[in-house]
């Protein structure tokens, strides 16, 4: 897998996929089912795998962390980039970087903790974590109250962060005062859109961000990859047409639960058996939601296979 330092080119080389983590009935991480999902993504042109919120790394135990890292390494090839996550709380993140620093991953994403935290405290914590790790982190910004634009820019400038995953949801993604200020301070080379296909056109075309992450890419990797390539070529019409194919699944994710819907979508589409959700999350058991989700997932997969 990729072990070299993270560059801006890495952020746009592939969709940064954010897969769920398939587990067996006893909650152990399933090599076989996760390998199926990784292979499906690779067949669609994806070479970057970010295990974060969709993989429920918020609830992963420190005791299983080292073993899971070994599994992550085993699922990918020499040219693939794997990004594990740490946190969300400081104490757990510190324990995890003390494990990670003996590994060859070039970075890890710091999951955001919105409570209890303050921007000044998060800034201090991320600096201490990067120092303990000996490598820069990916900073994950989901709200205006987590860090200020100036603090985020300083983390990049000081080498504490190698990238920023920007995922604050706006009614109109083209109008975003926080992102405008952040780009003004830090430029765009190391900032990626972190909310999937829905805001990607505005984020990459209007704000010139370096790339975008996606969960729904796990169902339709070829389509998501084609959308990224269209945006990189400035072909907004093609990108918008592709984006429409994702909206039914994205509406379910936004309306119910991004993590839990994606977990079931991969299973219902027949890509991999994602199994039980790791506590404190639970699988969806609403029959109507599951029926709608199966339809949306299979239609998106069919569109992907026809691409």
Helix (H, G, I), strand (E, B) or coil at 208: coil
pLDDT of residue 293: 98
Return the bridge partners of 109, or none.
85, 138
Tokens linked to 152: 């985020």
Residue pair 57/51 in contact (Cβ under 8 Å)? The answer is: yes
- The pLDDT > 70 percentage for the chain reads 100
pLDDT beyond 90 at 307: no
DSSP string for residues in 115-145: TT--HHHHHHHHHHHHHHHTS-EEEEE-STT
pLDDT digits (tens, 9 = 90+) for 79-127: 999 999 999 999 999 999 999 999 999 999 999 998 999 999 999 999 9
Element (H, E) at 191: strand 191-193
- The arithmetic mean of pLDDT across residues 49-54, rounded, is 98
pLDDT digits (tens, 9 = 90+) for 194-215: 999 999 999 999 999 999 999 9
pLDDT beyond 90 at 139: yes
- The arithmetic mean of pLDDT across residues 164-168, rounded, is 98
- The arithmetic mean of pLDDT across residues 256-281, rounded, is 97
Q: Which one-letter DSSP state was computed for residue 212?
A: B
């Amino acid at each position: 897998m990729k072990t070299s330092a993270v560059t801006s080119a890495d952020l746009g080389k592939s969709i940064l996929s954010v897969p769920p983590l398939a587990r067996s009935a006893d909650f152990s991480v399933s090599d076989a089912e996760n390998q199926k999902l990784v292979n499906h993504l690779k067949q669609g042109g994806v070479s970057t795998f970010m295990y974060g919120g969709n993989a429920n790394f918020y609830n992963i135990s420190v005791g299983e962390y080292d073993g899971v890292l070994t599994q992550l390494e085993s699922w990918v090839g020499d040219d693939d980039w794997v990004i594990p996550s740490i946190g969300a709380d400081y104490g757990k993140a510190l324990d995890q970087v003390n494990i990670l620093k003996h590994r060859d991953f070039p970075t890890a994403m710091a999951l955001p903790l919105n409570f209890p935290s303050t921007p000044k405290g998060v800034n201090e914590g991320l600096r201490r974590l990067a120092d303990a790790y000996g490598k820069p982190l990916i900073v994950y910004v989901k709200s205006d109250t987590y860090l200020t634009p100036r603090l985020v820019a300083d983390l990049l400038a000081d080498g504490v962060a190698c990238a920023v995953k920007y995922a604050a949801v706006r009614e109109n993604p083209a109008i975003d005062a926080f992102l405008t200020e952040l780009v003004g301070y830090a430029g765009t080379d190391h900032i990626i859109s972190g909310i999937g296909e829905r805001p990607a056109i505005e984020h990459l075309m209007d704000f010139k961000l370096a790339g975008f992450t996606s969960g729904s890419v796990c169902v339709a990797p070829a389509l998501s990859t084609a959308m990224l390539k269209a945006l990189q070529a400035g072909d907004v019409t093609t990108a918008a047409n592709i984006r429409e194919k994702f909206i039914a699944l994205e509406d379910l994710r936004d309306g119910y639960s991004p993590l839990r819907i994606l977990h079931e979508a991969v299973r219902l589409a027949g890509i991999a058996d994602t199994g039980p959700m790791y506590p404190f999350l639970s699988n969806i058991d609403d029959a109507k939601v599951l029926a709608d989700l199966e339809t949306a997932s299979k239609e998106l997969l069919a569109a992907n296979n026809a691409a």
